[in-house]
Homo-oligomer: A and B are copies of this chain.
Amino acid sequence: MERNIYLKSTDLEEVEKIYFNCFENIERKIERIKVIDSLNRITSEPIFAKVSSPHYNASAMDGIVVRAKDTYEADETNPVRLTYEKDFLYIDTGDVIPEEFDSVIMIEEVVKIDDKTVEIFKAAYPWQDVRPVGEDIAVLEMIIPAHVNIRPVDIGAMLAGGVVEVDVIKKLRIGIIPTGTEIVDPGKELKPGDIIESNSRVIESLVIERGLIPNRYDIVEDDFGMLKAAVRKATDENDVVIINAGSSAGSEDYTSKVVDHFGKVYFHGINIRPGKPAVLGVIDNKPVIGVPGFPVSAYLIYELIVDKLFDRYYHTQSKERVVKAQLSRRVMSSIKSEEFVRVKLGKVNNTLIASPLNRGAGVTMSLVRADGVLRIPKSIEGIDGGTEVEVILMSPRANIDETIVSIGSHDIVLDIITNILNNKYNGLYFSSSHQGSFAGVMAMKKGIAHIAPVHLLDEKTGVYNVPVIEKYLGKGKYSLVKGLNRIQGFYVGKGNPKNITGIEDLIREDIIFVNRQKGSGTRVLLDYLLKNNNIDREKIAGYPREMNTHMTVAAAVLSGSADVAMGIQSVAKAMGLDFIPIGVEEYDFIVENEFLENEKMVKFIEVITSETFKEETEKLSGYSLDDVGKIIRI
């Protein structure tokens, strides 16, 4: 056995060139199956028709069948009379053209004289309205080529062409080994440090979607001997083996060592982000891939490497569907790696807008929210906002055209709106990106959102929303659709253990605060209150630690990493925290005037003014809907 070629961080292109050929000399196993069971299987040979369709000359009409030459004299003034059985027979669509006849006249053009006689007023040409043998499929014609995926219509054509069995390439069996001492099966009680094992289930599902056979093993601890045994077994039992995690270069990362032990490591490390610490090897002529542990990295390595290997095996090519979109804001990129940035797509003012999502490799929700992936080549430092880019679609859930794009402040009522919209109007989606109120204002200005939920206090007047919108968006172009009044306050632990009563407690030495990000309405309110109360923000421990939603700051208080945070009452109730009210704020929606007339917006307003919405928000705490749906032109 040759020694490892241990290469650190090879470019993806190089990896494709070398590693993707590992299937080159493998014999593909073929099996013969029934055509009726062949949906989504891959042909191993071209399929040729065994019979013609139709396999006889067939009438294409209901009517009479005649000899064309008997009708040549007929015209509108000189009808020709034909006698039953001697000159014509009645015939239905699909019936056989009898030997002695050669032409069909449709029944609408036949005048019945008596039981035995008809008249016609137009000459028929030979083979008129006859479907000749092989009109649809000629015997020996190729129906589908080798190495294609069999679709429902292909099954129909094969059957119609007399083909009842078909040779297909056998399904590959994919072994999936989850590893890691810290990972636990879903549903188990969680201790701090435990990580729920979900990657193997994502990979299993991707393998099923691809039409292959997943074979998932139990979790293997980070132990060289145990991993060795597991990989040996999996390599014996499957055609391809995927080991999830343990692919880094750390002390407990045994994947590459095990592959090296039994076979050959081609690459360890790929120049992509996320997904860098992948292991690509071969054991007994079978690909063995070590996939990184972070969910986004695992997904990308599957899509970029594993799925493409399957393409090589089956001689197929994945359909990468690419759309052109305008980038909503500048994206920075490493010049050392090729980067894959998840984006959300939305159509605003007839332009497809791609908004980059959270790029952390651990952020599973960025995969859930993404509509596509933007690929940024190495040696590019970034792409400017407004640039036209190509986005690879990720099996889009919704018709992107039918999505209301919302960018702005977060509130859990947005989830309620999403669900009512979706329930009431099939296929109308609401996509909300929680970047804070001020980002919402900017998104409206750039024309990359349909709607912006905001709660922005004007520090001078103490008035919500209208003054800020006027300042940044001017007058005449936008309206404010009134939403909800909601109560803002402090989140504290159950029973208020540190006895926090007001804003002045934030500077206490024993208090750790957690803040919301700049530009969020809650941050604006906090800074307004600090200023009015002459409190020095420098004295607040944790003031620089920023989080992006009410829920994440509440989670920080719940976990004890902070003693207090600021947010809306409904979240405190939902998460079981105590709440100290500070004041009421107005959470409204900015809309372009033109969009007010749009069917999507009409439906949105229907939803927020509906009884259902009222009932659902009443179940939460801290909302009132006095002016909901009222439109204020700005």
Contact = CB atoms under 8 A, between A and B. Distances in A.
Interface of A: 35-36, 39-40, 46, 51-58, 60, 62, 92, 94-97, 102, 125-127, 131-149, 151-157, 159-160, 162, 164, 182, 186-187, 190, 192-199, 201-206, 208-209, 250, 252, 293, 295, 299, 311-312, 315-317, 319-321, 360, 362-365, 367-368, 395-399, 402, 412, 415, 418-419, 422-423, 426-427, 541-542, 544-545, 547, 549, 551-552, 554-556, 558-559, 561, 571, 574-575
Given A186-B159, A552-B138, A311 B426 contact: yes
Contacts of A398: 317, 319
Contact of A315 (B54, B186, B321, B426): B426
A13 to B, nearest CB: 16
Contacts of A54: 195, 362
Given A299-B153, A319-B399, A365 B162 contact: no
A191 B156 CA distance: 20
Contacts of A96: 192-193
How many chain copies?
Answer: 2
A201 B159 contact: yes
A363 B138 CA distance: 11
Given A53-B196, A92-B250, A136-B360, 16 more contacts: A36-B201, A54-B362, A96-B192, A97-B561, A126-B542, A132-B552, A133-B561, A134-B551, A135-B363, A142-B415, A153-B202, A153-B367, A155-B198, A155-B201, A311-B427, A312-B426
Contacts of A144: 368
14 contacts: A60-B362, A97-B561, A132-B561, A133-B556, A134-B552, A138-B551, A139-B551, A139-B575, A146-B419, A147-B426, A156-B201, A160-B196, A315-B423, A319-B399
Given A159-B196, A551-B141, A555-B52, A152 B206 contact: yes
A205 B39 contact: yes
B55 A147 contact: no
A427 B617 CA distance: 52
Q: Which of A126, A152, A311, A549 has the most CB of B within 10 A?
A: A152
Nearest to A35: B186
Contacts of A545: 126-127
A192 B136 contact: no
B319 A152 contact: no
B399 A317 contact: yes
Nearest to A62: B250
B125 A364 contact: no
A275 to B, nearest CB: 15
A55 B192 CA distance: 7
